[in-house]
């Protein structure tokens, strides 16, 4: 177990939603579970004026996200401070530096500082520059780390320029790009499933795997994020970041060790091995985009995407994206990968499905493709793993059905507390463990793969299909999948079979 050294956490954008809803609650959990170092303080920074007391009230004392006795929360809130930047982030940080030095001395933070940039990304470089002007990137007396929030760019070009901007002031080893998906226990468990189990690893290749399917489905629409989402879309919002990170964990070769750099090197190689699609015909055949239309779900009227607040009424932004692609390396040659992400689906679920090939020689003739062995890794909501395998139907003959072997994280009980993603990731950064943070080259490799799809869709001759809110996407979605297979339209409960599930 790594040690958590004394430190100061400085959060830029501390007046925002993320600080109140995720960051402070995660720090509070760490405090409750005694993971914070002996000497620790948090300094919130933003343009808005607030006193320390007002900040504490807003994010802790009156927060609906913290639960415990008032005294306990009050004791935690004493670690929180606030400094305003007057009007903007791009100013001389003299006053801010004085406050940081003062807190560092008073609370014995040993000159170790994390700067968490929870602001729009357009401000990242200016903040890094102004910190550097005050020597706050200098690690001679104590380490300095920079955590940056997604989105990491809007395209390959903007991601490169964001990375270059940060690299002018901070070394890559000081930069932690947070992707909260990687903080989920089941996502990390992909590595353990693959590399700590001799029953899976020998099968993890083109000889035994027929295809790989990843579904990320949201039952909600864009809600209050219409303005942001309309400029982003499903591919940028989910696919380029979270879902390609999942793909990298499925595709990567075994790392030499569990060392962060070894793991990230292999993830990087995996992302580089995704076959780029640039030919418009290939892109048209292998990608599907859609947008949800108004419909009625369980008697309730649901708005179409174009009627949502802050969405352009003529918008062609996709709320459904499905991509078929191949991985050009020895392990995965000719194995299709199908990845989809969408809003207004029948249920909220994220899962990876490894579809195994049929046995080479079929003795029991009644089995079909849909009944092949599957390994399902459920990322959310009921985190767990399910193996579907053939069992004999009782009675005469050899009729085969699929039985389930399942494991749920919640079955481990209360004593094995599953950390929330932000809690886990913050603690990792506090301990200098970058395993679950995206490196600059990984982010750029993911954009290199995604850019041509976005360019193709932008040209306008690529079709955009409508689908009724509450169904599994456009009708054509199944055509993407080769042969007799279809998407596994998953249920809310991991072990339910499609067709028999209760959807929200
Ligand atoms: P907010 O929009 O609430 O912004 C955070 C703070 O940044 C605001 O309180 C504001 O503080 C300052 N700010 C916002 N816009 C501007 C601007 N144009 N110019 C200068 N300052 C500005 O964001 P969130 O807290 O929701 O998120 C922070 C970051 O995290 C964003 O980059 C977002 O993309 C990312 N993110 C957020 C998630 C979420 O669930 N909220 C999830 C994943 C990523 P003030 O005016 O006081 O300076």
Give the Cα separation of 35 and 425 in Å (integer): 13
Nearest CA to ligand 1 atom 41: 18
Give 18-63 pLDDT, tens digit per residue. 999 999 999 999 999 999 999 999 999 999 999 999 999 999 999 9
Task: Give pLDDT, residue 450.
Answer: 98
Task: Give pLDDT, residue 399.
Answer: 80
Share of the chain above pLDDT 90, in %: 75
Long-range contact set of residues 390-394: C-beta below 8 Å, sequence gap at least 24: 390/364
What CATH code would you report for 182-480? 3.30.360.10
Three-state SS at 355:
strand
327 DSSP 8-state letter? B
DSSP 103-134: HHHHTT-TT-EEEEE-S-GGGHHHHHHHHHHT
Give the Cα separation of 451 and 159 in Å (integer): 11
Give 59-82 pLDDT, tens digit per residue. 999 999 998 888 999 999 999 999
Domain boundaries, the chain: 7-149, 182-480
Two structure tokens written together for 41: 């303080």
Task: Give pLDDT, residue 68.
Answer: 81
Give the Cα separation of 134 and 481 in Å (integer): 55
Give 319-354 pLDDT, tens digit per residue. 999 999 999 999 999 999 999 999 999 999 999 999
pLDDT tier, 366 (very low <50, low <70, confident <90, very high otherwise): low
Give the Cα separation of 322 and 320 in Å (integer): 7
Q: How far is the CA of 358 from the CAs of 207, 264, 324, 364, 372, in angstroms?
A: 11, 33, 21, 11, 6
Q: How far is the CA of 152 from the CAs of 234, 251, 342, 438, in angstroms?
A: 15, 22, 20, 10
Give 251-285 pLDDT, tens digit per residue. 999 999 988 899 999 999 999 999 999 999 999 99
Nearest atom in ligand 1 to 85's CA: 48
Residue 371 Cα to ligand 1 middle (Å): 47
Over residues 438-448, the mean pLDDT reads 96
Residue 371 CA neighbour count, 13 Å, CB half? 14
Q: Tell me the CATH architecture of domain 7-149.
A: 3-Layer(aba) Sandwich (3.40)
Task: Give pLDDT, residue 503.
Answer: 43
Task: Give pLDDT, residue 130.
Answer: 97
Task: Tell me which of 83, 89, 117, 118 to substitute to probe ligand 1's pocket, judged by most ligand atoms within 8 Å of the beta carbon.
Answer: 118
Task: Tell me which of 120, 231, 237 to substitute to probe ligand 1's pocket, judged by most ligand atoms within 8 Å of the beta carbon.
Answer: 120
Task: Give pLDDT, residue 415.
Answer: 54
Identify the CA nearest to 263 among candidates 274, 275, 253, 277.
253
Residue 18 Cα to ligand 1 middle (Å): 7
pTM above 0.85, yes or no: yes
Give the count of beta carbons closer than 10 Å to the beta carbon of residue 160.
16
Q: Is the pLDDT of residue 250 over 50?
A: yes
Residue 348 CA neighbour count, 13 Å, CB half? 9
């Amino acid at each position: 177990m790594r040690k958590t050294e004394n430190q100061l956490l400085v959060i830029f954008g501390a007046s925002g939603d993320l600080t109140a809803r995720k960051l402070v609650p995660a720090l509070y959990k760490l405090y409750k579970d005694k993971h914070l170092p002996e000497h620790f303080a948090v300094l919130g920074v933003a343009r808005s004026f607030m006193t320390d007391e007002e900040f504490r009230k807003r994010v802790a004392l009156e927060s609906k996200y913290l639960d415990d006795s008032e005294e306990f929360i009050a004791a935690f809130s004493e670690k929180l401070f606030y400094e305003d930047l007057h009007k903007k982030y791009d100013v001389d940080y003299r006053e801010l530096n004085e406050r940081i030095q003062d807190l560092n001395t008073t609370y014995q933070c040993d000159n170790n500082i994390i700067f968490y940039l929870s602001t729009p990304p357009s401000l990242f470089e200016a903040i890094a520059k102004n910190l550097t002007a005050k020597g706050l990137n200098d690690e001679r007396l104590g380490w300095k780390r920079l955590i940056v929030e997604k989105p990491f760019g809007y395209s390959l070009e903007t991601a490169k320029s964001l990375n270059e901007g940060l690299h002018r002031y901070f070394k890559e080893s000081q930069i932690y790009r947070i992707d909260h998906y990687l903080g989920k226990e089941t996502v990390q468990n992909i590595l353990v499933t693959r590399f700590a189990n001799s029953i899976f690893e020998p099968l993890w290749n083109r000889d035994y795997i027929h295809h790989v399917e990843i579904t990320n489905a949201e039952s909600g629409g864009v809600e209050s994020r219409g303005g942001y989402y309309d400029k982003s879309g499903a591919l940028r919002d989910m696919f380029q970041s979270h879902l390609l990170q999942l793909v990298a964990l499925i595709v990567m070769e075994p790392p030499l060790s569990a060392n962060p750099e070894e793991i990230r090197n292999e993830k990087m190689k995996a992302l580089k091995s995704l076959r780029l699609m640039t030919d418009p015909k290939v892109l048209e055949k292998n990608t599907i985009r859609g947008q949800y239309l108004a419909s009625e779900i369980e008697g309730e009227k649901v708005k179409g995407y174009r009627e949502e607040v802050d969405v352009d009424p003529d918008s062609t932004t996709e709320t459904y994206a499905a991509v078929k692609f191949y991985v050009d390396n020895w392990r995965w040659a000719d194995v299709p990968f199908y990845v989809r992400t969408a809003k207004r689906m029948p249920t909220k679920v994220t899962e990876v499905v490894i579809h195994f090939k049929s046995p080479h020689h079929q003795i029991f003739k009644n089995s079909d493709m849909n009944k092949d062995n599957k390994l399902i890794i459920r990322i959310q909501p009921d985190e767990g793993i399910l193996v579907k395998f053939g069992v004999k139907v009782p009675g005469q003959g050899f009729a085969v059905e699929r039985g389930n072997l399942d494991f749920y994280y919640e079955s481990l009980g209360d004593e094995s507390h599953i950390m929330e993603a932000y809690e886990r990731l913050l603690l990792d950064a506090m301990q200098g463990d970058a395993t679950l943070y995206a490196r600059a080259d990984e982010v750029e490799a993911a954009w290199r793969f995604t850019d041509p799809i976005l360019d193709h869709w932008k040209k306008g001759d690529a079709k955009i299909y409508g689908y009724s809110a509450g169904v599994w996407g456009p009708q054509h979605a199944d055509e993407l999948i080769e042969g007799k297979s279809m998407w596994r339209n998953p249920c809310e409960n991991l072990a339910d079979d499609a067709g028999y599930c209760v959807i929200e």
